[in-house]
Structure 1
Amino acid sequence: MFKMQIISSCTILSMLVFNILCTGISSRSSVIQGDGKEDWSITFNPPEITAVPGLCALISCTFTYPEAAKPINNVQWIECKNGKCPNQGSIFKGKVSTQQLEEKETETERIKMLEPDLTKNNCSTIMKDIKAEDENEYAFRVEGQKPQKTTYNPTVKIIIQDEPIMDIPPLREGVEANLTCSAPFPCPETPPEITWWIKTRGENNTNLEDDITLITRNLYISTLLLTPTSKMHNATVGCDVSYGDKTISASRTLEVTYVQTLRILGDGTVMEGDTLRLTCTVESHPPSSDPVWRFIGTADKIRNYTSAENLMITNVRKEHAGIYVCEMTYMMETLNASITINVIRDTNESKINESFTPGGGNLLGKDDLLNSTNTTSGKEAIQMQVNIGMIIGFLSGISVSAVIFSVVLCCHESWQSRDKMHEVMATDTDTEVILEVFYDQQGHQKVYY
């Protein structure tokens, strides 16, 4: 742990030293006077300022001057054009009394030095209400005891930016990526706030939360961690930067590299004599290659339809039953899909659901049925078979109905006779006897004379 702290401290110290050296080299200069002393110098930090129209820009600087120039009488800010900074290009003048700025002359009263005491060697200045025409270079001029005066050679540059800068790396479906949105931070009194949003196809804007925010002296950077999907291809992503009532925005169209599953569209069952239509399709970005068709079956080839998105075969025969394979190439990757096609005969003619599949046996066909008789045509033979079948079925139904009816009738009569009184008469030559026979409910016979 201690070793890591030492390494981190050394790294930070090295970065600070490197920054100081670079800043000194890029933004500091000296003017050599006749006495050989390098006492005139100025430093801008940073040497370039990015400003937003309608807001302010802060110029941060320090300067030195020789002892012989004291006291300082006047200071100026001069607008430079084409690399030249003429004295008549002054946009700010300040008269100094006892090292304090007591009189200031500006065109719009929008330029102000933050430190009126010049003995502190601070020339930091704020410019308000920045306009597009303010994009230029500016120099600082000091006038002391004659002839001790100079216009400092290093200048500060103001760059106008009216929208954020977005950086989007190459995107691939399912792979996380960092999107950045950087906005100027030229004015401390109005810190920016960044909002991310995305609008996919057919949907409304959706706000996103950024993951990392980095604030520098003159820049505000927001980083969004995004996991792209195929739906995000051609979507619009943007960031809005608000400075109080002022808002600037930027947006970009996303390009997502993706590929979906290869599919073959079409009916897997085709009637003999009809047309087979298949479509090989895949959604991808960038687009895949043209499809190549292959056939696994009894036919030798698929005629002239082997390199098209749509495959069509007219007048389909049983030899066309088999497996059809479509292949495409996407970014050096081979994609393929297959479909099994069954060819069936016309069921309205034969009433036989006959199909041809790879390696499958065939049922009795229409031609076989036509050759089975020499006296009638194929259609007449079929019609005769249908009529005989209907007659046999009708007669069978009548016979079964009659049997059922007889059984039911016999049972009904038998049950009625159990409760009915039967009368039996017997006669001989001498006497006439009448016998009455009854059956009780239990079926026992009782005879009365």
Structure 2
Amino acid sequence: MKDECRSLKAALSVNVLTVYMFLSVFFLPGVWAECNEKSFLQMTAPKKLEALNGSCLIIPCSFKKTPENGEQLDNSKQIIGVWIKNNTQFFENPKNVIFNSSNQTNIYPMEIIGNLTQTNCTTLFSNLTTKYTERYYFRIEDGTFKAVDRCNFIEINIQDSPQSPSIEIPDDLKEKTSVSITCSAPTPCPHSPPELTWNLQADSQRQTETNTDGSFTTKIQKTITLSDTHDGFTIRCSARYPVNEGPPKTGETLKNLSVPYAPKNTSVSISPSASVSVGIWVKMTCSSRAKPAVINFIWFRSSKDGDQKVAEGESYSLNATEGGAFYCVATNDLGNQTSGKIDLIVGDNLYLTYFIIGGVAVTIILIFFVICIWRFRKNQKQQQQQPTSELELQSPAPKTEDDLHYGEVNFKKRAEDSSASPQDRSQHQETVYAEVKVSQRGNGSTQTADKTEDVYAQVKKK
């Protein structure tokens, strides 16, 4: 039976939706947007609310009796607040009543935290799950008076992921102006507000505010003075929502800053060189960083008579006839900037001068190299020519033991008679003592003294 009822409810909901879509296509818009249901109660609450699975939700709510009824609430009697889910045609079905303030136990974890005697029906919805995604109506019971607002209801959507925070940046951004940047995150339950962090300031103060429809928003704010360095900067803001079970759930938003600024880093470059000969074509280029882009470049030349405008455009070419100092001015809609000066040096025959200087330098290097080789070979030759010891005859002169050298020389004469006896042959043996003067090296050269050699011979007969 329950399954049949559920099937019937589902089919009926589909049919009602189909009819509504059909009528909205073929009839004027707004005809079916108005509620023609007669009601003695008017509820004021946000039309749609979103909350996070595992968190809580505050439903801002107030009510009043309609003028058609003309009755006032009787504070002497107990005022009961009732929440009903699903469509209005099931109001009388007790199964659709999910909360009654007079009951100790209810189907849904709800609590009216507002004062009903002051027409405040604000309700705390706790321990949310995705199955609580429904359309909700509110009813008041005051003794015999029972009224429900059939035209006003609340769409509550429970999501597994939190909503992303929003970053608010003023539209008109300019360099050197101060602006306030705000990061805000929806706060379904101010009892558990999200923690907001961003990359602008770590210690930004968090505050929770009430919106015009009664919902809540948590914000952090930072005031900064803009410069060209902020252009293209990415602001990153994160919102961490606490939940009943598990780690917090985080939503994040990124937004880039676009900051216009006057020209920056204006400079001049020159090609082929800042020092050229007469008649050489030189090209100068002016570069600058700006937003919006540079719309005009103006070239000036400094002279004794003052600075003179010589050209316009990003580059300036000239045939070098004389030197001078040049600079450029870059301009966009927000301002201008002047570059530093660059000196152009022009020589009569600069390349010939460079050639002569280079030739002289090469010649000096070659001469030095040849001298080094000549000295090296000379030293090598002297080392190879070592002094040769020769025996020279010396004239008699005073001699010392260090100057005298003695040697024993045996002379053998040719045998005259092979028949001579050994004794006869032994008588011809001689012992000769010779005095030899050794040549000496002096003053880097070898000198040999030609002296008469004195030889003293003594013949011993044995």
TM-score (norm 1): 0.51
Q: Deviations over 1:89-112 (max 9, x none)?
A: 99951476xx7225644xxx5x52
1:268 — aligned with what? 274
Q: Distance in 1 between matches of 2:131 and 2:295?
A: 49
Which one of 316, 334, 349 corresponds to residue 311 of structure 1? 316
SS in 2 for 1:101: coil
1:12 — aligned with what? none
AA at the equivalent of 1:126? F
1:214 aligns with 2:195: no
2:56 — aligned with what? 56
The correspondence of residues 407-426 of structure 1 with structure 2, limited to 5 A, is none
1:279 aligns with 2:324: no
Q: Distance in 2 between matches of 1:132 and 1:318?
A: 88
Q: Is the 8 A contact 1:193 1:243 kept in 2?
A: yes
2:405 — aligned with what? none
SS in 2 for 1:172: coil
Q: Deviations over 1:118-170 (max 9, x none)?
A: 88976424165476995x86431357888944335444465887111111124
1:181 — aligned with what? 183
Deviation for aligned residue 1:252: 0.9
Q: 1:225 to 1:89 in 2, by over 3 A?
A: farther
Q: 1:343 to 1:112 in 2, by over 3 A?
A: same
SS in 2 for 1:262: strand
Q: Distance in 2 between matches of 1:117 and 1:78?
A: 22
Q: Distance in 1 between matches of 2:156 and 2:311?
A: 63
Q: Is the 8 A contact 2:56 2:124 kept in 1?
A: no
Q: Deviations over 1:382-401 (max 9, x none)?
A: 99xx99xx9xxxxxxxxxxx
Deviation for aligned residue 1:311: 3.1
Q: Deviations over 1:164-196 (max 9, x none)?
A: 111112443443321111112221331222112
SS in 2 for 1:282: strand
State the aligned residue count.
Answer: 293
1:288 aligns with 2:294: yes
2:164 — aligned with what? 163
1:257 — aligned with what? 260
Which one of 135, 148, 151 corresponds to residue 150 of structure 1? 148
2:234 — aligned with what? 236
SS in 2 for 1:209: coil
Q: Distance in 1 between matches of 2:147 and 2:60?
A: 21
Q: Is the 8 A contact 2:49 2:154 kept in 1?
A: no
Q: Is the 8 A contact 1:74 1:93 kept in 2?
A: no
Could you tell me which runs of 5 or more consecutive residues in structure 2 were left unpaired when the two chains were aligned: 1-36, 66-70, 211-215, 243-247, 305-309, 368-462
State the identity as a percent.
Answer: 20
Q: 1:116 to 1:164 in 2, by over 3 A?
A: closer
Q: Distance in 2 between matches of 1:278 and 1:113?
A: 78
Q: Quick one: higher RCO (CA 8 Å, sep 6+), 1 or 2?
A: 2
SS in 1 for 2:199: strand
Q: Distance in 2 between matches of 1:281 and 1:95?
A: 72
Q: Is the 8 A contact 2:206 2:218 kept in 1?
A: yes
1:126 aligns with 2:133: no
Greater Cα shift, 264-273 or 225-234: 264-273
Q: Is the 8 A contact 1:72 1:144 kept in 2?
A: yes
Q: Is the 8 A contact 1:230 1:258 kept in 2?
A: yes
Deviation for aligned residue 1:238: 1.7
Deviation for aligned residue 1:234: 0.6
TM-score (norm 2): 0.50
Q: Deviations over 1:341-387 (max 9, x none)?
A: 2212444524699xxxxxxxxxxxxxxxxxxxxxxxxxxxx99xx99
AA at the equivalent of 1:311? Y
Q: Distance in 2 between matches of 1:224 and 1:126?
A: 33
Q: Is the 8 A contact 1:242 1:248 kept in 2?
A: yes
Deviation for aligned residue 1:53: 3.5
Q: 1:115 to 1:238 in 2, by over 3 A?
A: closer
Greater Cα shift, 121-130 or 215-224: 121-130
AA at the equivalent of 2:203? E
Deviation for aligned residue 1:49: 6.5
Q: 1:332 to 1:326 in 2, by over 3 A?
A: same
Q: Distance in 2 between matches of 1:276 and 1:132?
A: 78
- Cα RMSD (Å) of the superposition? 4.8
Q: Is the 8 A contact 1:164 1:241 kept in 2?
A: yes
Q: Distance in 2 between matches of 1:72 and 1:142?
A: 7
Q: 1:87 to 1:306 in 2, by over 3 A?
A: farther
Q: 1:79 to 1:292 in 2, by over 3 A?
A: farther
Q: Is the 8 A contact 1:76 1:142 kept in 2?
A: no
2:139 — aligned with what? 141
AA at the equivalent of 1:57? L
Q: Deviations over 1:199-256 (max 9, x none)?
A: xxxxxxxx5332x543224111211122333222111112212223122221211112
Q: 1:73 to 1:268 in 2, by over 3 A?
A: closer
Deviation for aligned residue 1:262: 2.5
SS in 2 for 1:256: coil
Q: Is the 8 A contact 1:57 1:127 kept in 2?
A: yes
Could you tell me which runs of 5 or more consecutive residues in structure 1 were left unpaired when the two chains were aligned: 1-30, 199-206, 299-304, 354-381, 391-449
1:77 — aligned with what? 84
Q: Distance in 2 between matches of 1:95 and 1:347?
A: 100
The correspondence of residues 377-416 of structure 1 with structure 2, limited to 5 A, is none
SS in 2 for 1:349: helix
1:340 aligns with 2:343: yes
1:93 — aligned with what? 97
Q: Is the 8 A contact 2:165 2:185 kept in 1?
A: yes
Q: Distance in 1 between matches of 2:153 and 2:331?
A: 57
Q: Deviations over 1:51-78 (max 9, x none)?
A: 444343211334467679x888993434
Structure with the greater alpha carbon radius of gyration? 2
Q: 1:196 to 1:343 in 2, by over 3 A?
A: same
Q: Distance in 1 between matches of 2:60 and 2:295?
A: 58
